[in-house]
Amino acid sequence: MARGRKPQPPDASRRSELLRAAARLFVEKGFDATTTRDIAEAVGMRSGSPFYHFRSKQELLKAAMIGGLEAGAERLRATTAAIADPEARLRAMVRAHLGNLLEGECPAPMLLGETRALDAAERAEIAAAFDRYQQPWQETLEQLAAAGTLASAAPPTRLLLFGMLNWTTQWYRADGPLSLDELAESCIALLLGRAPKAPGTAAPPEASAGRNAQRNTS
């Protein structure tokens, strides 16, 4: 009787520890700037040992992205499937996606740019995982368009929405003045053409007094 939790060949838990450490480091420092030694050290291994679990650094990235996307998709489905009203469902999806993104649960979209380092076949696998993640979104957008709540659900809409959401990783700070709930509400408001209704989001129109409070990059 070994001490593993589940009966699996080498040591499945070490493998997923490596994956989580790799994902975190890739987000923090980028794929190229993260060394396999960094990853090994983060889980208490020696420099050569990650290669016992993964053939290459690229495979670590691929596995981390696909794993993260699938976990995120599952979380999305779980918090969303039971909601019948499309607007309420979209609100929950936006909130869940921002959580995936900004609370460290599924930073995969932040790593999209790093797939440059992968070859075509690996990129295709990742693109398929992204497709699965996006599936429920298009459906909900079309329901909203059919109900007249959303002006258009033509293809660019979903991609522009993801842009709005995913770009938050470039400027949102958890210690800033905006909570995740308020941010989600702002996204919905912009998308549906309404003023945000959550408390505290609004600021007097003249605002400014030192530009904006949020960290200010593009």
Partner DNA sequence: CCTACCGATCGGTAGG
Residue 117 binding: pick among DNA, its own copies, none (C-beta 5-8 Å cut-off by kind): its own copies
Q: How far apart are CA 157 and CA 152, in angstroms?
A: 7
Residue 46 binding: pick among its own copies, DNA, none (C-beta 5-8 Å cut-off by kind): DNA
Is 124 a binder of its own copies (CB under 8 A)?
A: no
Among positions 3, 5, 6, 46, the unique one binding DNA when judged by CB under 7 A? 46
Query: Which range in 55-63, 145-153, 199-207, 210-218 contacts DNA by CB under 7 A?
Result: 55-63
| Residue that the structure tokens 């019948």 belong to | 84
Shortest gap between Cβ of 143 and its own copies (angstroms)? 10
| Residue that the structure tokens 């060949």 belong to | 9
Under rule CB under 8 A, which residues in 61-120 are in contact with its own copies? 109, 112-114, 116-117
Q: Contact, 202 vs 135, CB < 8 A?
A: no
Q: Copy the structure tokens of residue 40.
A: 């090994």
Q: Copy the structure tokens of residue 95.
A: 């909130």
Q: Helix axis angle, 120-146 relative to 86-102, nearest 10°?
A: 150
SS3 182: helix
Phi and psi at residue 195, to the nearest 5°: -75, 140
Nearer to its own copies, 81 or 202 (CB): 202
Count of residues touching its own copies (by CB under 8 A): 63
Longest distance between any two alpha carbons in the chain, whole Å: 68
Site string for DNA, 10-39 (x = CB under 7 A): -x--x-------------------xxxx--
Q: How far apart are CA 1 and CA 148, in angstroms?
A: 61
Interacting residues toward its own copies by CB under 8 A: 29-33, 109, 112-114, 116-117, 127, 130-131, 133-134, 142, 145-146, 151-168, 170-171, 178, 183, 186-187, 189-196, 201-203, 205, 207, 211-214, 216-218
